[in-house]
Chains A and B, each alone.
Chain A
Amino acid sequence: MSKLIVNNLSCQRGYKLLFENLSFELNSGEVLKVSGPNGSGKTSLMKILAGLSSFETGSIDYDDTKINSERYNLDFLYLGHLAALSPELSCLENLKYTMRLGNDNLDLDFSDALKKVGLKKFENELVGKLSAGQKKRIALSLLFITQSKVWLLDEPFSALDSKAIKIIETRVEDHCNSGGICILTTHQECNIKNLKEISL
């Protein structure tokens, strides 16, 4: 059982206070949807939880591990706005590279992951030639092979059609049913079970 506790978090960018006194607790199996208007700090919150940005006050506790420690980075998967795909590499090469950065385990079925997002025949296609929606699918195919317990998904449904959205929602549900935690930001309606919601 994993537990993520965020206590009195506040974030400032430049002279603007984005949010303050933000607190929430997530146990294994729970999904948190973060909503709010543009510029409210949703992406900043995700980056803080991923360890990319600093925060002004508050604390983040995950199973007694420190933020940005090796265990923390291994357990957390962050998929941001950008797909984190190199345009000069093929889809398969990109997945292998990202997994190598993530947890070194290359003994995974990358082809199956691409098949689950409907892009099996694009394995050896250079990412630079794909559309925005296809790139997003490639990035989200990591959800089918990652072993990370906590998923931080920033706008995962952007550029996806309704069928792909349903695939990702089902995957998030399966992940949480297996004891994982997921935090996602989106402007769209979510049909995911055990969904908690906060608004910034």
Chain B
Amino acid sequence: MALRNPSSFLNPLMFFVISISLFPIAISPEAQTLSSIAPGIIWVITMLSVLLSLNSLFHYDYDSGVLEQMVISHHSLPLILLAKTLAHWMLSGLPIIILSPFLGMALFINTEGIYILVLTLIIATPCLSLIGSIGASLVVGIKNSGMLLSLLILPLFIPILIFATSAVSQSQSNLPIDGQLYFLGFILILSLLITPFLSALSLKISLE
């Protein structure tokens, strides 16, 4: 479906690439300056790109009435929502993971940092989609809900942002990063276990 409507996933991806490309122009093209702030830049723009794409997670299905059929289906609603969130991650998080090494090199992150950047994105972008699905299911049906969704979800993204950027920054200085990676892994497991049920509950409340 996304391939038949490419703007739904291409727009956030273009936002990701263009936004990061603007930082060297706006701040400084010097390697030392950029490499120190690059992890933060990439992770903040990743979060904002995922937020942009979250609006369309349930929006089209709500407008067409397909969402109602999902809710009253005899299949498990949390499982359906987990599948939808996985599809969302494949269209929002996976392209970011693929492009991140190139953008990381453009911002002068060293080799070790690039590896850890990709690893943190692999672990944590599914968390962004899963946690974001709770917010998206709460605001489904509300017009112009972009700002509301951001207010709901961004505070929940902050711990991921802190630990992911810390892991990449410290890896560039060859410092240990086990704690940060374990924390991100914990968030991923917790999200996988809990968020589908919370999203299902939020969706049923929103559709009443």
Chain A residues proximal to chain B, CB less than 8 Å: 50-54, 68, 70, 73-74, 76, 78, 80-89, 97-98, 101-103, 126
B80's closest neighbor in chain A, by CB? A101
B:1-40 near A, CB below 8 Å: 1, 4-5
List, sorted by A's number, 8 A–B pairs whose CB atoms are closer than 8 Å: A74-B74, A76-B72, A82-B68, A83-B64, A84-B66, A86-B60, A88-B5, A101-B75
Within 8 Å CB of B74, what residues of A? 70, 73-74, 102-103
Q: Which of A50, A74, A86 has the most CB of B within 10 A?
A: A86
**CB-based contact B73/A101 at 8 Å:** yes
Q: In the complex, which residues 94-141 of chain B have their Cβ closer than 8 Å to any Cβ of chain A?
A: none
Q: How far is the CA of A86 from the CA of B65 in the complex (A)?
A: 9
Give the shortest distance, in Å, between A93 (CB) and chain B (any CB).
9
Across-interface contacts of B4 in A (CB, < 8 A): 88-89, 126
Question: Are the C-beta atoms of A101 and B64 separated by less than 8 Å?
Answer: no
A85 to B4, CA, bound (A): 15
Give the 3 A-B CB pairs with smallest separation, nearest first: A82-B65, A84-B65, A73-B74
| A52 to B72 alpha-carbon distance, docked (Å) | 7
CB neighbours (8 Å) of A87 from chain B are: 60, 64
Cα distance A190–B74 when bound, in Å?
Answer: 31
Q: A80: shortest Cβ distance to chain B, in Å?
A: 6
Min CB gap B57→A, angstroms: 14
**CA of A17 to CA of B4 in the docked complex: distance in angstroms?**
44
A15 to B4, CA, bound (A): 43
Report whether B72 and A86 are in contact in the complex, using a CB–CB cutoff of 8 Å.
Answer: no
Contact B71 A80 (CB under 8 A): no
Residues of B within 8 A of A102 (CB): 69, 73-74
Check if A73 sits within 8 Å of B60, measured CB to CB. Answer: no
Interface contact B208-A80, CB-CB below 8 Å: no
A residues within 8 A CB of B73?
73, 101-102
Q: A70-B74, A88-B4, A101-B75 are in contact. Are A52 and B64 (CB under 8 A)?
A: no
Q: From residue A194, how far is it (CB to closest CB) to chain B in Å?
A: 26
A104 to chain B, nearest CB (A): 8
Q: How far is the CB of B173 from chain A (nearest CB, A)?
A: 47
CB of B71 within 8 A of CB of A52, answer yes
Interface members, chain B 48-70 (any A CB < 8 Å): 60-61, 63-66, 68-70
